[in-house]
Amino acid sequence: MDALKQQVFEANMALPAHRLVTFTWGNVSGIDPTRQWMVIKPSGVRYEQLRPEDMVVVDMAGKVVEGRYRPSSDTATHLALYRHYPSLGGIVHTHSTYATAWAQAGRAIPALGTTHADYFFGEIACTRPLRRWEVEGEYEQQTGQVIIETVGPTEALLRPGVVVSQHGPFCWGRSPDEAVHNAVVLEEVAKMAWLAHSLNPTPRPLDTFLLEKHFLRKHGATAYYGQPEP
C-alpha cells in the first residue's frame, strides 16, 4: 500500500506541475491490484502541503481504512468507474481551463487532428447534464453513473476521458501516472480544438482512416510507435 500511496502522491503532484489545477481543484486516485482498496488525494488540502502519507485509503464502499484526512469529495465518482471498468488503474479529475470550457459549453471535443487521434479513438464525449434528483441525491455517485452512461460498454481505454457537462474533465488510464498523462493530452487537444474553431468555425473532422492509423500505431497488437518493452 505504501508503494501505491507514493504513486498516487506523485501523480497528484504532477497536476500543478502541468498547470492542470488551481488551488485544490483536482485529484488523482489509484486502485490496488486486488481491487479491494483505492488511494486518493485528501479533500481540500493544498498541493504544497501534501506528503505521501497524507493519501487516503478507502475500501470499495468508500469507507476510510487508513489516513488522517477525509478523502476527496469526488471519491464516489472514482469508485463507480473502478467498479464498472476493470481495466482502469488510475483516475484524474481536474478543472483545467480549456477542457472545462468545452464542458461548460456542453460540447464534445471533436477529433480534428492527429494529436487527438494518438490518444482518443474519436471525439472526447460530453455527458448530458445531471438532473435535479441526481444532484440533490448521491451527487458524486451519479456523476460516475453519467460518465458510465456516456462511455457505454466499450473499452474505456479507447477514449480515456470525458468532459462532464457544466463541470469538467475526468480522465483515466492503466495507472495513476498514465491517467495524468491522458489528462495533460486532453487539455492540450481541447486547446487545439478551441483555437482551430476560432480560425475556422466549421473545421473538417479528421478522416476516419487517418484517425485509425494514428490511434492503432500507438495502441493494440499492431502498434509500432516507440520502443518495444525490454
Cα–Cα distance measured from residue 62 to residue 111, given in angstroms and rounded to the nearest whole number:
35
* Residue 177 is a catalytic residue: no
How many helices (H) does the chain have, and how many strands (E)?
A: 8, 7
**Strands, sheet with 161-164, edge to edge from the N-terminal-most edge strand:** 64-66, 56-59, 37-40, 26-31, 90-94, 168-173, 161-164
Tell me which residue of 180, 179, 175, 151 sits closest to 163, measured CA to CA. 151
**Active site residue: 54, 85, 118, 139, which one?**
118
What is the biggest distance separating any 2 CA atoms in the chain, rounded to whole angstroms? 52
* Residue 118 is a catalytic residue: yes
Q: Are strands 161-164 and 168-173 parallel, antiparallel or unpaired?
A: antiparallel
Cα–Cα distance measured from residue 63 to residue 79, given in angstroms and rounded to the nearest whole number:
11
Cα–Cα distance measured from residue 58 to residue 60, given in angstroms and rounded to the nearest whole number:
7
Tell me which residue of 184, 174, 16, 188 sits closest to 91, measured CA to CA. 174
Q: Would you please indicate which residues are annotated as catalytic (active-site) residues? A: 118, 225
